[in-house]
Chains A and B, each alone.
Chain A
Amino acid sequence: DAKTTQPTSMDCAEGRAANLPCNHSTISGNEYVYWYRQIHSQGPQYIIHGLKNNETNEMASLIITEDRKSSTLILPHATLRDTAVYYCIEDSFGNEKLTFGTGTRLTIIP
């Protein structure tokens, strides 16, 4: 079973920052937080991952709380193409299985 909890769905206006929360209250010291997204009719796409420091790449930023029990994925300027299901996954580095939950369905509103 997935060890993270996410809201079922969210809306965000186009051009605004989309902030997707994730709770991982049972995360252990060697477990990373990964984010993937799945656009309709496509396979999942890796977005970003982190351990305890905030991370940023060309797609998104990941903010992890100091106690590591929750995190937020930030899409700084959401576009219609960001409409997708976003999965937050907690997993040990070196563990080859990604355990997906049901994710957050993000809809970008024009």
Chain B
Amino acid sequence: GAGVSQTPSNKVTEKGKYVELRCDPISGHTALYWYRQSLGQGPEFLIYFQGTGAADDSGLPNDRFFAVRPEGSVSTLKIQRTERGDSAMYLCASSPGGTGGVEAFFGQGTRLTVV
């Protein structure tokens, strides 16, 4: 398919474990975004990549969260020492590049549950 793909769709992990969430953006899109959404709330910005570099990581809640995009395409969101409060839907989006959030295409998300 041509859309943004996120894997896995669901992830259950134990408190304290490490998890990786993967995002495959739309081919050719240089901008990539990660958001987090708790139940009943709107998505909350985490980090934005332009190409390989993290242009804005101001939304990452603490140093347990880290994201990479080494080749400017696929991105991985990494969470260390998971806590129950990290349970949420993690959404990835991509856009053609530097267009200020216009027409960001979102994936279906990864639902993370920390038990």
- By a beta-carbon cutoff of 8 Å, the part of chain A in contact with chain B is 2, 32, 34, 41-46, 49, 85, 87, 91-103
Contact = CB atoms under 8 A, between A and B. Distances in A.
Contact of A43 (B45, B58, B102, B106): B106
A110 to B, nearest CB: 25
B31 A96 contact: yes
A49 B98 CA distance: 16
Contacts of A87: 42
Given A43-B4, A91-B100, A96-B55, A101 B109 contact: no
A32 B101 CA distance: 11
B14 interface: no
Contact of B45 (A45, A98, A103): A98
A97 B59 CA distance: 9
A46 B105 contact: yes
Nearest to B43: A100
Given A46-B105, A101-B42, 5 more contacts: A43-B93, A94-B100, A97-B58, A99-B45, A100-B44
Contact of A98 (B55, B101, B108): B101
Interface of B: 4, 31, 33, 35, 40-45, 48, 50, 55-56, 58-59, 91, 93, 98, 100-109
A93 B102 CA distance: 8
B11 to A, nearest CB: 16
B104 A102 contact: no
A98 B46 CA distance: 10
B42 A34 contact: no
A8 B31 CA distance: 31
A99 B106 CA distance: 15
B100 A92 contact: yes
Nearest to B103: A46
B16 to A, nearest CB: 28
